[in-house]
Amino acid sequence: MAQCAGTIKNVGRSAIHLGRRYRHGDMAGLRGALIVLEGADRAGKSTQARLLVEALKERGYRAEGLRFPERTTEIGQLIGSYLEKKSDLEDHTIHLLFSANRWEQVPTMKEKLRSGITLVVDRYAFSGVAFTSCKENFDLHWCKQADVGLPKPDLILFLKVNPEVAAARGGFGNERYETNYFQEKVLKRYFELMEDKSLNWKVIDASEKMENVHKNIKDLSEKAIQDAKDQPLGKLWEEDP
Ligand SMILES: Nc1ncnc2c1ncn2[C@@H]1O[C@H](COP(=O)(O)OP(=O)(O)OP(=O)(O)O)[C@@H](O)[C@H]1O
Ligand SMILES: [Mg+2]
């Protein structure tokens, strides 16, 4: 159900004007879904996030894209400078800044989700945790703590590509972490995080053609939107053992 015409009076918290057409999410009480894309560098996350937002909009859903790190904020600028190797930051400090960069978006994210907008997020806490926990002397438990309580994704799409396919998509850039050795460690850590069955992880074969990957992602996302719409938004890792 993408489009629903309606002449509904005073439903839920807001009065709804007669005579207009309502798209999914316009009706009070129906929230949007939080959909996250994760995966190794060059797996196609940004490409697929963009395609998904476009496709959902075409199908009558309200959807917006979001990315982390969000480099435009003050915290985001510190992160950008660190990633571009223009500045150095102590490892715990940069980890907490990445987390803070997510937390500063939470009020906006919650408001949008509440108003029925589905958010498609390019990288989230899983990237933050996977990357820092691969550094020496960091344990996974510590790395997760700063992100405990963030809005819990309704769906996490893990884009999986084999290293040869990733290599064919162009070399690494010059940013921090962009080396084969580090990326392989990160990948292993992602698979550990995927063992958490309280989260709705779906592994996507992202080595396939862009259109095929997109179709898989779109179908799973539409289902997640339907499943999430009348469920409360959860909190990430709150019930962590
Ligand atoms: N399924 C695909 N088949 C072939 N090429 C692809 C596919 N998906 C993406 N690409 C290409 O691979 C490159 C990397 O894609 P993209 O930037 O979306 O990856 P990413 O996961 O966002 O990378 P990063 O982690 O570096 O941000 C781009 O040039 C893109 O056009
Ligand atoms: Mg990207």
The finding on whether 207 has its CB within 6 A of some atom of ligand 1 is: no
- Using DSSP's 3-state secondary structure scheme, residue 99 falls into helix
The finding on whether 120 has its CB within 6 A of some atom of ligand 1 is: no
CA-to-CA dists, residue 200 to 193, 223, 224, angstroms: 11, 12, 9
How confident is the model at residue 13, as a pLDDT?
A: 35
How many whole angstroms from its chain centre is CA 50?
12
pLDDT tier at 168 (50, 70, 90 boundaries)? confident
Q: Candidates 37, 38, 41, 42: which one to mutate for ligand 1, based on the most atoms within 8 Å of Cβ? A: 42
Average pLDDT over residues 141-160: 98
Could you tell me which of 31, 196, 192 has the C-alpha nearest to residue 117? 31
Quick one: which atom of ligand 1 is closest to the CA of 49?
A: 18
Distance 41 CA to ligand 2 centre (A): 7
DSSP per-residue letters across 161-172: --HHHHHHT---
Residue 44 above 90 pLDDT?
Answer: yes
The finding on whether 25 has its CB within 6 A of some atom of ligand 1 is: no
Residue 206 above 70 pLDDT?
Answer: yes
Average pLDDT over residues 37-48: 95
Residue 240 above 80 pLDDT?
Answer: no
Give the list of residues 6+ apart from residue 213 with CB closer than 8 angstroms, or none: 44, 48, 159, 204, 205, 206
Which pLDDT tens digit goes with each residue over 172-200?
Answer: 777 888 888 888 899 999 999 999 999 99
Cβ–Cβ under 8 Å, residues 6 and 27: yes
How confident is the model at residue 28, as a pLDDT?
A: 56
pTM of the predicted model, to two decimals?
0.89
The finding on whether 160 has its CB within 6 A of some atom of ligand 1 is: no
Which pLDDT tens digit goes with each residue over 59-113?
Answer: 999 999 999 999 999 999 999 999 999 999 999 999 999 999 999 999 999 999 9
Could you tell me which of 185, 177, 190 has the C-alpha nearest to residue 94? 177
